[in-house]
Amino acid sequence: QVQLVESGGGLVHAGGSLRLSCAASGRTFSIYVMGWFRQTPGKEREFVAAISRSGLTTYYADSVKGRFTISRDNAKNTVYLQMNSLKPEDTAVYYCVADQSPGALAMDSGEYDYWGQGTQVTVSS
């Protein structure tokens, strides 16, 4: 099992940058595929990004490709989401997720076993 705690959310102006962090408990962090989802009231959860166990492979939603970068530091049990060129439509609660039994990087929220509490990101125009 793993516990996930997000941090780094806040208020930023359009065009600005923000870096989210997700700290995981335990000593088996490297066995999990990690990812990020986001959600706003009245909308379904939206896949944002995922990263392989080794960190060598990443996958992004088209809406954030070229602007966001996911990375991980297995020695620190931490995954990051660097968010650049932020837009008002990026406003959402961002969730860190972990998949213990990956076959491949997944966009389906049902594939992930663990979820963090979420951190609010607000982008003003």
Kindly report, residue by residue over 34-91, the tens digit of the pLDDT.
999 999 988 999 999 999 999 999 999 999 999 999 999 999 999 999 999 999 999 9
3-state SS record for the chain: CCCEEEECCEEEECCCCEEEEEEECCCCHHHCEEEEEEECCCCCCEEEEEECCCCCCEEECCCCCCCEEEEEECCCCEEEEEECCCCHHHCEEEEEEEECCCCCCCCCHHHCCEECCCEEEEEEC
For residue range 88-113, what is the model confidence (pLDDT) as tens digits? 999 999 999 999 887 778 889 999 99
